[in-house]
Structure 1
Amino acid sequence: MIRVIVVDDQKLMRDGLKTILSLEEHLEVVGTAADGAQALELAKESKPDLVLMDIRMPGVDGVEGTRLIRQQLPDTKVLMLTTFNDSELIFQALEEGASGYLLKDMPTEVIVQAIMTVSAGGVVLPPDSTAQVVAEMKRIRERSGQEPVEREASAEALRQVRELTERELEVLNRLGLGMNNKEIAESLVITEGTVKNHVSNIIAKLCLRDRTQAAIFAVRHGITAYHS
């Protein structure tokens, strides 16, 4: 049973999600909250496996709520609910430790599958919308005069990628596709323990914090287009 907290400032939205998710036999909604601060207090009490969190909320928003929860309850995963217009906030939330995001207009079965994926250790980055989000982030940076910085960062990323072995590059590709260790192991016909070692090496070589950042790196720098 996966224990979930639903966080949204709109009562209709959070109550609706609670009702829908409670119909799933593998999910248990242990509470709802209206902002990130309430979510943190509720999470401290109920110790959920996952927090399904809206990104835009008055008071403590989803980005700050994610930072607080991941900082104080590292075993609790966070999955964001957002709209495509929140490109900058999406990446901020991912960098604060969210395990992925979903657009609010996605079907219920997609949300349920995403919760299962994140609970199993995967990352949820919808390929089509993530590509658009990355493009939008680049446009934002260009407009704000950060383009030279972006080019410098890309050059550094290319140097780091060259440090990866062929197998590590294959694993990084699959991280960017949102696969968990079991799925990567099956895809490459290796053991889960070997995958775990490769992921650790990738994180160290790319100077990243965790597998979510590795997945973001793969998407941002086109590693998901790589095929062995």
Structure 2
Amino acid sequence: MPTKQLVIRALVVDDHRSYAEALSFALARTEGIESIGCAFSVDEAVSRVQHDEPDIVLLDWQLPDVDGVEGIGRIKAARSATKIILISGHAAGNLERLATSAGASALLPKESSIADIVSTVRRCAEGEVITSTLSTAASEQPVALTRRETEILWLLAKGNDAPHIAAELFISVHTVRGYIKDLRRKFAATSQLQVIAVARAQGLLPD
């Protein structure tokens, strides 16, 4: 009789609603992972962890109420069995040490691809502690964008899809999708989520 695959329950904690919801949606579409939604502050995350008992929390380093280290501590205090993956858009030499000493199982740059995030979720759920180096994207020369590309980037970051952007800018959906394709190429991104994360890391979008 085949062994039933265990489902990993994951919670995304990030005050950037568009990023959190996009990542949660991507995880929900991944076999073997059940996304239990998003929390937008550590207070909300602690409540969700106590109630929903996720296996994995993907936690943003910079939240409005606390920093990542305190957030890790509070979530671990709420449920020690929950593994935490800290996600940061800012390179810092001591960040990995701070994260792992606080109890995080892994540290990922915010511009990580969905494939890398999923792989890390699965490895951490199995008990691995992963060390990695934050991408230097935040310190690289920002990507050069046209005025229209910048407008579309900002609208994407606000959670708008192609039809809504087309209506906002009075252009066709086909044209919007062409611009999004160009943005993915310029940022070397495999998804719109990654476009937004890399743009934010390079200072092209507000934190």
Q: Give the TM interval when normalised to the shorter protein.
A: 0.5 to 0.7
Matches within 5 A, 1:37-56: 37-56=43-62
Q: Which residue is equivalent to 1:18?
A: 24
Matched residue, 2:34: 28
After TM superposition, give the deviation of residue 110 of structure 1 in Å.
0.5
Aligned residues: 130
Structure 1 unaligned residues grouped into runs of 5+: 133-228
1:131, CA displacement in angstroms?
Answer: 11
Deviation beyond 6 Å, 4+ runs, structure 1 = none
Aligned partner of 2:105 in structure 1 is 99
Q: Which has the higher contact order (CA 8 A, sep 6+)?
A: 2
RMSD across aligned C-alpha pairs, in angstroms?
1.8
Match of 1:68 among 71, 74, 77: 74
Percent identity, aligned pairs only, is 30
User: 1:72-151 residue pairs with structure 2 within 5 A?
Assistant: 72-126=78-132, 129=133
1:130–1:102 CA distance, 2 compared to 1 (3 A): closer
TM norm structure 2: 0.59
1:141-168 Cα shifts (integer Å, max 9, x gaps)? xxxxxxxxxxxxxxxxxxxxxxxxxxxx
Give, as a single letter, the amino acid of the residue that structure 1 aligns with 2:18: L
Q: Check the 8 A contact 1:9/1:57 in 2, yes or no.
A: yes
Question: What is the one-letter code of the residue matched to 1:34?
Answer: F
Q: Could you state the TM-score of these two structures normalised by the residue count of structure 1? A: 0.54
| Counterparts of 2:135 and 2:41, CA distance in 1 | 28
Contact kept in structure 1, 2:12 and 2:39, CA below 8 Å: yes
Asked whether 1:3 is paired with 2:9, we answer yes
Deviation at 1:65, TM superposition (A): 1.4
Deviates more, 1:58-67 or 1:10-19: 58-67
1:123 to partner: Cα distance: 1.4
Is this contact kept in 2: 1:70–1:96, CA < 8 A?
no
**Which residue number in structure 2 is paired with residue 224 of structure 1?**
none
| Aligned residue type for 2:55 | D
Q: Please state how far the C-alpha of 1:60 moved relative to its aligned partner.
A: 2.4
Report SS of the residue matched to 2:66. coil
Partner Cα separation in structure 2 for residue 84 and residue 90 of structure 1: 11
How many Å apart are 1:94 and its aligned residue? 1.6
Provide Cα deviations, 1:38-60, integer angstroms capped at 9, x if missing partner: 11111001000010000011112
Deviation at 1:84, TM superposition (A): 4.2
Q: Which whole-Å deviations, capped at 9, do the CAs of 1:41-82 have from their partners, x for residues lacking one?
A: 110010000100000111123221110111231111100111
CA deviations 1:11-58 (Å, max 9, x no partner) are: 011011011111101111112111222111110010000100000111
Identify, as 1 or 2, the structure richer in helix.
1
Distance 1:41 1:63 in 2: 18
| Structure 1 position 3, deviation (Å) | 0.2
Change (3 A) 1:98 1:90: same
Separation in 2, partners of 1:73, 1:87: 28
The change in CA–CA distance for 1:131 and 1:103 in structure 2 (over 3 A counts) is closer
